[in-house]
Amino acid sequence: MKKNEKKIDTNEFENLENQLKRALADYQNLEKRIAGEKSEWIKLSNKDLLLRLLPGLDSLLLAEKHTQDDGVKVSIRHFLDILEQEGVKKIETEGKDFDPKAMEAVSTRVGEEGKVVEELRAGYTLFDLVLRPAQVIVGSKS
Amino acid sequence: MGKIIGIDLGTTNSAVAVMEGGTPKIIHSAEGRNVIPSVVDPISHVVGDVAKRQIVLKPKTTVFSIKRLMGRKFNDDSVQFDIKWLPYTIKAGRDGMADVEVDGRTFTPQEISAMILQKIKSDAEAYLGSKVTQAVITVPAYFDDSQRQATKQAGEIAGLEVLRIINEPTAAALAYGLDKKNAHTIAVYDLGGGTFDISILELGEGVYQVKSTNGDTHLGGDDFDQTIIDYLAEEFKKENGIDLRKDPQALQRLRESAEKAKIELSSSQEAQINQPFITQGEGGTPLHLTMTLTRAKLEQIVDPLIQKTLKPVELALKDAKIKVSDIDEIVMVGGMTRMPKVLETVTKFFGKESNKSVNPDEVVAIGAAIQGGVLGGEVKDVLLLDVTPLTLGIETLGSVSTPLIERNTTIPTSKSQVFSTAADNQTQVEINVLQGERPMAADNKSLGRFVLDGIPPAQRGVPQIEVAFDLDASGILNVKATDKATGKEQSIKITGSTGLTKEEVEKMTKEAEVHAAEDAQKREKIEARNQADSLIFTAEKSLKDAGDKVTEEVKSQVEEKVSALKGILDSGSKEDLEAKTKELSDALQKVGQAMYQKPGQQPDAQASDAAEPKPDGEASKDSGESSKKEEPVEGEVVN
């Protein structure tokens, strides 16, 4: 009888110890991850804001394309310089191989197979992370 | 032992969650998103967002909506229907099952799904920093045995031991803890990217059983987007005579605008659509798409789609032989249920509010993770840490409720704070333990009270009484008061401090909200009164200390102000109290000046007399007497 009781105790003990270990492990892992995430956060905290600003830049780029106005061109250069200081870089596309990691294919056009024929909307990286993929037209034989 | 992940393997998007520290957490993809598009390029082994970006380029080799083919025969009506619109090649495979052919290679739907699961697995491993080998995967309630088997196989191919296949609506119910709440009959309304499902579940022996399901396999967010696109395109055409849908580049921008507007209109009444230079008119003049879409207009154009969901709901209820009024809870799943009009329609249909607090894109994965936690022994009652539903505190000077443990604090927990006396030579304090959100003691619930006596007589504010709250995991509250000078202590044990019904908690929380403004006023007045009281004490003390160092003129000036302030201490308004306090404070400066060797005492100097007490943490004592308290009373007696 006594032995039996003891067995239950051991079981319960193991169970509790297991749960404690689990809770500690979760906590320690969380701490590790928070340390890692914190440095990421500092770097990427502007991400949402930047993403919301980009459509404005898109419009300026379109205006430049259609009007060929020098003033607009200079303004865009200025804007891009500011963004670059914040770690934002434009993704180079035209003439390059299509790369789905950084680009999104919107349509195809006769041209060199697999190469970007035209960029429709610029894409940007933020500290080597894709902030927004570029939208491009990709060349195709047919 | 590794973690068990919960996977929502969806038609359009998939999601994954895991239990951590007893609560479910969504794992973000390597691309930093909470969902992974269920899109696969099986040849180059690319999955998710990256695969989705090349869909236009490789329409024949990029596979999406594979869930529609899982465990189905090639000759099934649904497969024959889908073949017409899915751009990749579908053919009959072994035993007449539907297979996919990509670049001359044959893949079973299981293999394609396995690639999605592999991506999920590796993203989860990157997040957790350890191997993941076990999973719970969800399937629609209407999946038959063959479809469930196929899903299980997909998991195995991906290197996951599938501990259980559970129904999506059941997972959603688990995410809301409806099983624990004993919600007997529930309806789960799931409007996703491409499919609509309604399920009626009934709780039997702790497990939800599917009573009936219905839905529309081709109705979802994509249809809403298309409706908006069509509307915008038609409006543009009316004005400019050009159909933007014919130009793939313009269509792309139109699609983005439509989706953005749809999302914006869930939280605001108006959305601006701005797409300059979207196309060119006659003679190459640039044309811009600028429009304002109101929520009312959006609701009007998508209303037929929303109404379309109600028919299946009615059929499901009929199949389950259940009346609308029998439904205890409604759960919303899928991104489209964020649309206010959808919520409103569902609420109106069922005549009650639905559960919608959990992110509807994540709720199924979260439920799967909870199921995984149960299977892994992580979710046990012992480990489910509770929170205190209401704030716990004590009553302090002026019948104010001073919180020690704020509501929603995870228990077990302990907190302590040092308080002092409110009167000179006070030899005992009464600790009145309070529960509730209101700032005034009388409006909260008193859980118990006790007296700590034997405090050596001293000036008010000098004794240090440490009050410690200890709330254990089962909600038993231990309150202990210790006089730091003598080490004398007194305590009380209160059981059932968390044993309130949901209704009681809701009522008390709601009351606090309703009375928030007047309570704040009351509290401000008490604070003004306490400050005045404290300054009177300082002033009287200063005059005594100063003796003949101050002129009679200054003295009488101060005395006059003191009695003026005393006169309105309990009757004056907050403004009066503050004004009179200010006057006294100014008069008191003169006393300070007169005693040049002693720097002028500030109004709050009294609080800093004692080393530790917070300026406001003064004096817990009988509320009934405190208001009358001006003259130091010896050994305050508490009834």
CATH number at residue A108: 2.30.22.10
Buried b (16+ CB within 10 A) or exposed e, B146-184: ebbebbbbbbebbebebbbbbbbbbbbbbbbebbeeebe
Residue B398 has pLDDT above 90, yes or no: no
pTM over 0.90: no
Q: Are residues A18 and A60 in the same domain?
A: no
B277:A120 CB<8 A:
no
From the list B53, B127, B382, the residue facing A103 with the nearest CB is: B53
Instruction: Please tell me which residue of chain B has the smallest CA distance to A133.
Output: B53
Q: Are residues A76 and A89 in the same domain?
A: yes
* pLDDT tens per residue across span B68-87: 999 999 999 999 999 999 99
Would you place residue B596 in the very low, low, confident or very high pLDDT band (cuts 50, 70, 90)? Answer: low
Q: What's the pLDDT score for residue B632?
A: 35
Residue A2 falls inside a structural domain: no
**Mean pLDDT lowest among A108-117, B262-271, B384-393, B530-539:** B384-393
**Mean pLDDT lowest among B161-175, B362-376, B444-458:** B444-458
How near does any CA of chain B get to the CA of A61, in Å?
A: 10
* pLDDT tens per residue across span B316-332: 999 999 999 999 999 99
Sequence-distant (6+) residues with CB within 8 A of B518 are none
Higher pLDDT residue, A4 or B390? B390
Would you place residue B366 in the very low, low, confident or very high pLDDT band (cuts 50, 70, 90)? Answer: very high
CB atoms < 10 A from the CB of B104, how many? Answer: 7
Residue B626 has pLDDT above 60, yes or no: no
Residue A4 falls inside a structural domain: no
Q: Are residues A19 and A80 in the same domain?
A: no
Q: Are residues A29 and A54 in the same domain?
A: no
Q: Are residues A38 and A106 in the same domain?
A: no
Residue A128 falls inside a structural domain: yes
Residue A107 falls inside a structural domain: yes
Residue A106 falls inside a structural domain: yes
Residue B607 has pLDDT above 60, yes or no: no
Q: What's the pLDDT score for residue B501?
A: 65
The average pLDDT across A99-125 equals 91
Angle between the N-to-C axes of helices B168-175 and B363-375, in degrees from 0 to 180, rounded to the nearest 10: 80
Q: What is the ipTM of this complex?
A: 0.73
Q: Are residues A38 and A58 in the same domain?
A: no
Write out the residue range of the structural domain in which residue A30 sits. 10-45
Residue A15 falls inside a structural domain: yes
Residue A68 falls inside a structural domain: yes
Q: What's the pLDDT score for residue B500?
A: 60
Residues of B in contact with A104 (CB under 8 A): 52-54
**Residue at B87: amino acid letter:** P
Q: What's the pLDDT score for residue B302?
A: 96
**Mean pLDDT lowest among A103-107, B265-269, B420-424, B513-517:** B513-517
Instruction: Please tell me which residue of chain B has the smallest CA distance to A106.
Output: B56
| Interface with A, mutate which of B277, B280, B410 (most A CBs under 10 A) | B277
Q: Are residues A122 and A53 in the same domain?
A: yes
**Mean pLDDT lowest among B232-246, B256-270, B581-595:** B581-595
**DSSP letter string, B432-498:** EEEESS-SBGGGSEEEEEEEE--PPP--TT-S-EEEEEEE-TTS-EEEEEEETTT--EEEEEE--SS
- What's the mean per-residue pLDDT of chain B? 85
Residue A3 falls inside a structural domain: no
Sequence-distant (6+) residues with CB within 8 A of B442 are B399, B623
Q: Are residues A86 and A125 in the same domain?
A: yes
The average pLDDT across B99-128 equals 95
Backbone angles phi, psi at A61, to 5 degrees: -60, -40
* pLDDT tens per residue across span B275-323: 988 988 888 888 999 999 999 999 999 999 999 999 999 999 999 999 9
Q: Are residues A21 and A78 in the same domain?
A: no
Q: Are residues A92 and A64 in the same domain?
A: yes
Q: What's the pLDDT score for residue B587?
A: 81
B377:A18 CB<8 A:
yes
Q: Are residues A29 and A50 in the same domain?
A: no
Residue B610 has pLDDT above 60, yes or no: no
Q: What's the pLDDT score for residue B631?
A: 36
Q: What's the pLDDT score for residue B615?
A: 38
Q: Are residues A83 and A133 in the same domain?
A: yes
Number of A to B CB contacts under 8 A, please give it: 68
Would you place residue B379 in the very low, low, confident or very high pLDDT band (cuts 50, 70, 90)? Answer: low
Total domains present in chain A: 2
